[in-house]
Structure 1
Amino acid sequence: MDALLRAELAPSQLTVRDDSALHAGHPGAASGGGHYHVTIVSERFAGASRVARHRMVYDALRSLFPMRIHALAVSAFTEQEYSAQ
């Protein structure tokens, strides 16, 4: 995930958290796909809506669905938005 996101979105900051253990026994876990949360900061998100940003992340990771990723939560920011938090 890290390499795909870095190649596609050139983030200045990227954190990928594996939350799969929190979903043990979930029907989606049976397929082997994990649950993840991505926090990503990229200037490529400038001017893009929240939905558009999520689409950009999902598109970058398309090859990992559904076998490696079952569920993905995304927090996507520009540098300015992230700094203002």
Structure 2
Amino acid sequence: MEWDISVEFDPVILVFDNPERFFSVRTAVGAANALMNEFPCDDGKEFLAAIEICLDVVNGNAKPEQLRAAIIRAADEAGVTTVAVLH
């Protein structure tokens, strides 16, 4: 199996409780890192859905835009502020 880990999408900036602490997500690997290491909770429905879609994107079974939307939903669920950047 060959993973496509370089697929990019329009960035989503995650702003955590400390406004000086933010994380820019634009790839499936970046999304996985943010979800697993930065999110304040890891048991919400949207969080778990984002993890699943992240794996699907890496495996080529979902579109990057689906992951971007899932990250935004998971952040909303966790109370994390998002800044959605569009090119």
User: Fold conserved (TM > 0.5)?
Assistant: no
TM-score, normalising length: structure 1: 0.30
TM-score, normalising length: structure 2: 0.30
Q: Which has the higher strand share?
A: 1
